[in-house]
Amino acid sequence: MDWDQFDLNPKVIAALKKADIKSIKEILNLSGADLQRLMKLSSADIQCLLKTVSYALRRNSMLTALQLYQDKDHLTSQHQKLSLGCSVLDNLLKGGIPLVGITELAGESSAGKTQISLQLCLCVQYPYKYGGLESGAVYICTEDVFPSKRLQQLIDQQHKLRADVPAEIIQKIKFGNSIFVEHAADLDTFHNCITKRISLLLTRGMVRLVVIDSIAALFRCEFGVSDSVMKARYLQTFGAQLHSLSTRFRTPIMCINQKLLSAVVGKNLSCFLYSVVGNRVSPALGITWANQLLMRLMVSRISQPEPSPGAASHHTGSVRTLRVVFAPHLPPSFCYYTVTLEGVKGIK
Amino acid sequence: LETGPCGLSKEIGISKEEALEALQVVRQECHGDAARTAGGSGATRKCTALELLEEEQAQGFIITFCSALDNILGGGVQLTKITEICGAPGVGKTQLCMQLAVDVQIPECFGGVAGEAVFIDTEGSFMVDRVVDIATACVQHCQLIAEAHREEDHLKALETFTLESILSHIYYFRCRDYIELLAQVYLLPDFLSEHSKVRLVVVDGIAFPFRHDFEDLSLRTRLLNGLAQQLIIIANDHKSAVVLTNQMTTRIGQSQSTLVPALGESWGHAATVRLIFHWDNSQRLATLYKSPSQKESTIPYHITSHGFRDVQPPAVTQNAEDTEMNPRKRPRREEEK
């Protein structure tokens, strides 16, 4: 760190160099008293130093809420979201998936989580005008093999799913080329994947969506009940790394989580966060992971499709529910959807 | 003063050190003048406990729009104090913070403190569209009161109490790691001096940047203590409420585990008032866990499209509107004997 470029008293600069302090982080990690002792300066000088380096780090960092609200630039605006490719589903989420933060998609098996994720990998490639981010996606498989056949089916049927997009635009997009598939069956491989491979793809602007299918599988085998502290630490580290990537590159991270539903659940949404019996709590992928999330969505199959007059006859496949469990900008709500040949479609 | 030491030294042709010292002397003079006229809020002074009590009772509260919560807090979120909100994800901590950032701006004639808000976001959960919903509902609420009472000052206040005005007085800072947060808090006193109408500082959430990255827990404890000290000083010097949100973590005991606020035991001393939000089946509950003046109690609350609210809306009569919106005008009631 070149201290000379800062607006500091030369004696402070000399003291910094003498104390071998190399970064702003080192300065802020020390208390005022420690700094005084280390650099042998007065408390007024230290206060001045702290303010100067803080200013260097944080100048021009303020925005008013009005500026946030009025920002319509797709590169910075909060209003920009990643569409799910279906207007009903987008309406549930008030536009789609937020670009900064980790969104979790949880639910029992075969409820449609992979289907929704594949659909997102295609949606992200559309132009901004059609709810996409004009970039590719990286899909990390942690247990199953990547469903390439199904992906090909979806690609072939895009013109049917996305009737809102002109055919010539759809034809121009080479969907298969921009989906990068990674396999990571254990924690070390996963860590490597996030820190090296995904960072690279993001830095080059080749992807604007990361899907992890699934996060639970990584932790299932390797940790017994007694290792919950270790597990919590890994979860926190991974969560922080993903969060940091998401913030730096304005890229949504979609984590698929398999919840083991017990008979207790029913309408009890709180059970997905932690199960409480009196004061006792069972730690699960539960609260440590949930603390890292911006938004939690849940999918489930309902045993019998709701008999609604007229509409039911079109939906021979089972009807499923997409529910918002929590999100800072959405009320707890849900909508129905089906999985058809061309993809996931909401039912009004 | 504005040129800065480098510019000054170049212009006058003196050494940088001399320029800095000259500027320091000039600044002290200016501060001295200001301090003399303002009565020196930073200087130490002696006063009696009675004076302190009177000062404290005159302090404003920021209402939450959930009268049950305001009641257990003794009127609302108190200025000059640090209030901590703990809870599991999705229970409503950020919702209350956004509500307070709007409510702090309510004009005095409607029972508010007519202040501005600083919102420091470490998690990226500040969604401005939601704040717009909350602010719009708040303005509408005030408009209803103005229509019912038809007083001059109400109507005049409403001219400047609009959605745009509310949004423009929420100062938003996004801190992506603990270093940025520490730096931002070092800069806060100067920011608050420049924006003297700020009456609320929110840090949402304080735990997030401190819960990973720390091999050395003693460093974390020291940094958190330092942060708490600075926030206490800020709350006092600038007569602002400081509201922090904290996560919950599992404490594994011998036979069972419980949910406790994160950041450890020593952090528990940082806040003056601690609220814990939790669920009971699908009902959200707020428990006042720690307070110097109010007793521990639990109340239910609701989050609607308009924001943070009571579970049952109070009966819509004129009197109820009065008590809800004008805590200062609330008649003194007999406490339970």
Q: Of the given ranges (A81-85, A268-272, B175-179), which has the lowest mean pLDDT? A: A268-272
User: Could you tell me if A317 and A293 are in contact, meaning their C-beta atoms sit under 8 angstroms apart?
Assistant: no
Burial class (CB in 10 A: 0-12, 13-18, 19+), A250: middle
| Cα(A342)–Cα(B169) distance, integer angstroms | 47
Q: Which amino acid is at B299?
A: I
B187 vs A contacts (CB less than 8 Å): 51, 54-55, 58
pLDDT for residue B215: 79
Residues 98-157 of A with CB under 8 A from B: 98, 100-101
Whether residue A108 sits in one domain with residue A136: yes
Final residue of a domain: which of A20, A36, A58?
A: A58
Chosen from A42, A43, A64 to mutate, greatest number of chain B CBs within 10 A: A64
Reported as a pLDDT band with limits 50, 70 and 90, residue A303 is low
Whether residue A212 sits in one domain with residue A76: yes
User: Could you tell me if A124 and A85 are in contact, meaning their C-beta atoms sit under 8 angstroms apart?
Assistant: no
What fold, for B63-310?
Answer: Rossmann fold (3.40.50)
| Cα(A168)–Cα(A296) distance, integer angstroms | 35
Chain A nearest-CA residue for B20: A9
Alpha helices by DSSP H, listed for A104-147, are 113-123
Whether residue A291 sits in one domain with residue A165: yes
Whether residue A204 sits in one domain with residue A331: yes
Within chain B, which residues score under 70 in pLDDT? 1-14, 16, 28-45, 56-58, 313-337
Three-class SS of residue A334? strand
Model confidence at A70: pLDDT above 80: yes
Whether residue A86 sits in one domain with residue A34: no
User: Would you call A290 and B170 a contact, using CB atoms and an 8 Å cutoff?
Assistant: no
Tally C-beta pairs within 8 A across A and B: 176
Whether residue A36 sits in one domain with residue A91: no
The 3-state secondary structure of chain B reads CCCHHHHHHHHHCCCHHHHHHHHHHHHHHHHHHHHHHHCCCCCCCCCCHHHHHHHHHHCCEECCCCHHHHHHHCCCEECCCEEEEEECCCCCHHHHHHHHHHHCCCCHHHCCCCCEEEEEECCCCCCHHHHHHHHHHHHHHHHHHHHHHCCHHHHHHHHHCCHHHHHHCEEEEECCCHHHHHHHHHHHHHHHHHCCCEEEEEEECCCHHHCCCCCCHHHHHHHHHHHHHHHHHHHHHCCCEEEEEECEEEEECCCCEEEEECCCCHHHHCCCEEEEEEEECCEEEEEEEECCCCCCEEEEEEEECCEEECCCCCCCCHHHHHHHHCHHHCCCCCCCC
pLDDT for residue B45: 64
Model confidence, pTM? 0.85
A16 lies in some domain = yes
Whether residue A162 sits in one domain with residue A51: no
A100 lies in some domain = yes
Domains in chain A, number = 2
Whether residue A291 sits in one domain with residue A155: yes
Q: Which amino acid is at B264?
A: G
A270 lies in some domain = no
User: Would you call B89 and A290 a contact, using CB atoms and an 8 Å cutoff?
Assistant: yes
CATH of the domain at A256: 3.40.50.300
Q: Of the given ranges (A46-50, A108-112, A290-294), which has the lowest mean pLDDT? A: A108-112
Residues 256-275 of A with CB under 8 A from B: 267-270, 273-274
Q: Which domain holds residue A291?
A: 72-262+279-303+316-347
Model confidence at A280: pLDDT above 60: no
Per-residue pLDDT reduced to its tens digit, A36-56 = 888 888 888 888 899 999 999
Distance in Å, alpha carbon of B141 to nearest chain A alpha carbon:
21
CB contact A195 to B (< 8 Å): no
Whether residue A340 sits in one domain with residue A222: yes
Reported as a pLDDT band with limits 50, 70 and 90, residue A260 is low
Per-residue pLDDT reduced to its tens digit, B282-303 = 899 999 998 988 899 999 999 9
Per-residue pLDDT reduced to its tens digit, A115-170 = 999 999 999 999 999 999 999 999 999 988 999 999 999 999 999 999 999 999 99
pLDDT for residue A281: 28
A64 lies in some domain = no
